[in-house]
Amino acid sequence: MLKDFETPKKEDKAQINAGIKELQAKLLGQQQLLMKAKLPVIVLIEGWAAAGKGSLIKELISELDPRFYNVVSPKILPENAERYPFLFPYMSAIPVNGKVTFMDSGWMENVVRKYLKREITKDEYRRRIRQVNEFERQLRDGGYIVLKIFLHIAKQEQYDRLYELAENPATEWRVNPEDLWQHNEYKRFMEAYDDFMEKTGDTAAWHILDGNSRKTAIRDALKLLVQRVDRGIKEGRYDGMTSEEEFPLKEMPLLSEVDLSPSIDDDEYKKELKKLQSRLSELHNIVYRKKIPVILCYEGWDAAGKGGNIRRLTYALDPRGFDVHPIASPLPHELNRHYLWRFWTKLPRTGHICIFDRTWYGRVMVERLEGFCSDREWHRAYHEINEFERMLTDWGAVVLKFWIHIDRNVQLARFTDRENTPEKQWKITDEDWRNREKWDDYEVAVNEMLQNTSTKNAPWHIIESNDKKYARIKTLRLIVKALEKACSAKLALPTHNGGVSPLSIRALVR
């Protein structure tokens, strides 16, 4: 705890310098071992303003090859970070296997500062603490080494440093009102840091370093890093299985129990389609203005009709306000990161709609069945995905998940049709036939997925799609209903842009 922290006794300067050199050399040697072991490392440096985080990082990287690390400073992250979940910038910045990301302050500073500024409520603070713990645990379980350091300086030391910076015309600009505010509120900050560290030390421990003495801090940080990497290399890549939390689930039928006979006649289809699309179009406007993020997830059998279903949906939307993400096999740079990274980085900003044509559920379907991940990996994915989706709905997102369902015979008929229709031939590949042979295995996996991940906040919807038109109408209805609910629950519309009214346009035009 910061409040119990005692400044250690002075050490011999030359000895410290020698220690630094030695540790830097060791770290340099570890580079290759990390690459070989494919271990990714995240070093989070938190601490007081003017504690020397920047200079500390400079020393940590000074001997390393630039191919080996990158430095992230959330202070210089995109101005629109506020339009994504608060962990978004940190997740986006995680390293590929074998590399190190140094973060110059991160999720701790983010949460504590917002809380002290009263930009988030006590409840939201608690939620974020939970999300941080989930985030760190998921990274750890996924093989990431996470080292967390807090650089501590006393109030008087902070005063002296800020004063020195402010007094020098060349560095004066570095002292900003936020720093002064922190200094003024030193005690409140200390309590808040302590609280945060106390609640987030379970997966990755916090290390408080004495920043009053710069050199000692550098030496101690290097030592921690070298030791942590050493341990990581010895233990090998972690493949964890740790959380036991149970999510409240919605009861789901087995696929075999689903009645696939529902259909719709052509006239009703056309009428309903038009009505729903027009309503959706209105709702898209409201969603955009109320800044509600919307995430629509499509999964289903090959040839179930996902594409056509999505097209009926997107046709109702303003192309400037949505994205469709077709999910294929991960690319090398995706494969070399946590499997959820490629989905995190595709999240919509607030007010936007994103549609996933296949999703993170690939983990518990194709990746499970084809052996692209370990048993522990897909087992723990159920839980990780539930956490991921809870994070999304906590953020305020509307999350809808559709399983587009058909039976084997319908699939065969559609495959055959595709093979016999020249313009459709590209849609059918050998892989589709191979997957079809594994129908039974997939059915087991899909059933498990539906049973394990149909949470109350982000339930699955099974869409009967033997009749594609019926499926489209059902999907659109669910979307319209969910958006209506979200739009009515949220705050009032912001006032319109620039105060334009028929009167003012009339006045302007000559």
Residues 58-97 that bind a second copy (CB under 8 A): 58, 61-63, 65-67, 70-71, 73, 75-76, 78-80
Structure tokens at 78: 């995109």
Are the C-beta atoms of 344 and 330 separated by less than 8 Å? no
Q: Does 497 bind a second copy (CB under 8 A)?
A: yes
- In 3D, which of 247, 283, 305, 274 has the Cα closest to residue 457? 247
d(CA 485, CA 317): 18
Query: Which residue number, 240 or 321, has a Cβ lying nearer to a second copy?
Result: 321
Q: Which residues of 100-132 are buried (b: 16+ CB within 10 A; e: fewer)?
A: bbbbbbbbbbbbbbebbeeebeeeebebbbbbb
Q: Which stretch binds a second copy (CB under 8 A): 158-166, 187-195, 403-411, 457-465?
A: 158-166
**Given 46, 104, 194, 464, the residue binding a second copy (CB under 8 A):** 104
d(CA 97, CA 337): 6
Q: Which is nearer to a second copy, 140 or 289 (CB)?
A: 289
Q: Name which of residues 269 to 328 contact a second copy (CB under 8 A).
A: 282, 285, 289, 307, 310-311, 314-315, 317-321, 323-324, 326, 328
CB of 439 to a second copy, least distance (A): 24
**Of the residues 12, 257, 266, 423, which one makes contact with a second copy according to CB under 8 A:** 423
Rounded CA-CA distance 417/479 in Å is 30
Q: Is 429 left (phi over 0), alpha (psi -120 to 50) or beta?
A: beta
**For residues 336-365, which are near a second copy according to CB under 8 A?**
352, 355, 357
What 3-state class would DSSP assign to 460? strand
Q: Is 483 in the site for a second copy (CB under 8 A)?
A: no
Q: Is 506 in the site for a second copy (CB under 8 A)?
A: yes
Q: CB of 336: closest distance to a second copy in angstroms?
A: 11
Nearer to a second copy, 88 or 247 (CB): 88
Asked if residue 226 binds a second copy (CB under 8 A), the reply is no
Which of residues 173 and 261 has its CB atom nearest to a second copy in the complex? 173
Rg (CA), the chain: 27
Q: Does 171 bind a second copy (CB under 8 A)?
A: yes
Instruction: Determine, following the binding rule CB under 8 A, whether residue 500 of this chain makes contact with a second copy.
Output: yes
Give the footprint of a second copy on residues 424-443 (CB under 8 A): 426
Pairing label, strands 41-47, 69-72: unpaired
Binding-site member from 2, 5, 54, 444 for a second copy (CB under 8 A)? 54
Distance CA 231, CA 256 (A): 48
State the amino acid at position 431 in one-letter form.
E
Instruction: With beta carbons less than 8 A apart as the criterion, state whether 344 and 92 touch.
Output: yes
